[in-house]
A and B are shown apart, each in its own frame.
Chain A
Amino acid sequence: EAQVTQNPRYLITVTGKKLTVTCSQNMNHEYMSWYRQDPGLGLRQIYYSMNVEVTDKGDVPEGYKVSRKEKRNFPLILESPSPNQTSLYFCASRSGTVSYEQYFGPGTRLTVT
Chain B
Amino acid sequence: SQQGEEDPQALSIQEGENATMNCSYKTSINNLQWYRQNSGRGLVHLILIRSNEREKHSGRLRVTLDTSKKSSSLLITASRAADTASYFCATDPRLYSGGGADGLTFGKGTHLIIQP
Contact = CB atoms under 8 A, between A and B. Distances in A.
Interface of A: 4, 31, 33, 35, 40-45, 48, 50, 56, 58-59, 88, 90, 92, 96-97, 99-107, 109
A6 B31 CA distance: 27
Interface of B: 1-2, 30-31, 33, 35, 40-45, 48, 88, 90, 92, 97-98, 101-109
Contacts, number: 65
Contacts of B41: 106-107
Contacts of A48: 101-103
By secondary structure, the A interface counts as strand
A104 B21 CA distance: 22
Contacts of B2: 41-42, 44
B45 A43 contact: no
A96 B98 contact: yes
**Max chain A CB contacts within 10 Å: which of B1, B43, B109?**
B43
Contacts of B108: 40-42
